[in-house]
Amino acid sequence: MSQLRREALRAFKKLHRTRQFVFQGDELTLNAGRKEINEQFRKNQNERNEDEIRKMIKLANDVDKELRTSVIQAVQEKEGVYTLRITEETTRLDNVVFNPDAIIERPTSRNRKGNPTSGCCGGQNASTTESINNKC
């Protein structure tokens, strides 16, 4: 068995294990995931171009990582109340509290060379800039 074929089989099995882990207890999603993984691999089983096969293996590994780090399973306990299943692999970001008193400054326009320009659209003529500002 070629090395590339082993890698493809490893990615296939890994995706199925990830599917079982991420969607455990959700039979509908487990079945849909199994069907999709099998269809995609079956569709490409006759590919002979090694570069294309490597790209597909990389895609499978990227999908695996995305499923493990980004999907959160939610189960409805009662009306409007959900329990979330967050794992060790789930990506957690810092929450930044919204400040309603924050002053948001309008960004400075820049031309292609990175120099600041006047007006919202970089117009040179003051009357043109005023008419443009009235539209912005």
What are the pLDDT digits (tens) for 48-88? 999 999 999 999 999 999 999 999 888 889 999 999 888 88
38-43 contacts at long range (C-beta below 8 A, 24 or more positions apart): 41/8, 41/12
99 pLDDT more than 70: yes
CA distance linking residue 37 with residue 134, whole number of Å:
54
- Tell me, yes or no, whether 65 and 15 share the same domain: yes
Other Cβ atoms less than 10 A from the Cβ of 37: the count is 19
Which of the four pLDDT bands, split at 50, 70 and 90, describes residue 116? low
pLDDT cut 90: percent of the chain above it: 53
Instruction: Domain of residue 31: give its range.
Output: 3-85
Residue 92 belongs to a domain:
no
103 pLDDT more than 80: yes
134 pLDDT more than 70: no
- Tell me, yes or no, whether 13 and 75 share the same domain: yes
Tokens read off for 133: 């500002």
Residue 50 belongs to a domain:
yes
Residue 1: the pLDDT is 54
CA distance linking residue 128 with residue 22, whole number of Å:
57
Q: pTM surpassing 0.85?
A: no
Alpha helix (H) residue ranges in 45-96: 50-70
- Tell me, yes or no, whether 78 and 11 share the same domain: yes
- Tell me, yes or no, whether 119 and 61 share the same domain: no
Which of the four pLDDT bands, split at 50, 70 and 90, describes residue 32? very high
Residue 15 belongs to a domain:
yes
Q: How many structural domains compose the chain?
A: 2
Tokens read off for 96: 């930044």
The single-letter code of the amino acid at 33 is: G
Residue 91 belongs to a domain:
no
- Tell me, yes or no, whether 60 and 21 share the same domain: yes
CA distance linking residue 129 with residue 14, whole number of Å:
58
- Tell me, yes or no, whether 37 and 81 share the same domain: yes
- Tell me, yes or no, whether 76 and 111 share the same domain: no
CA distance linking residue 76 with residue 94, whole number of Å:
25
Residue 47 belongs to a domain:
yes
- Tell me, yes or no, whether 79 and 116 share the same domain: no
Are the beta carbons of 37 and 15 closer than 8 angstroms? yes
Residue 112 belongs to a domain:
yes
Average pLDDT, the chain: 84
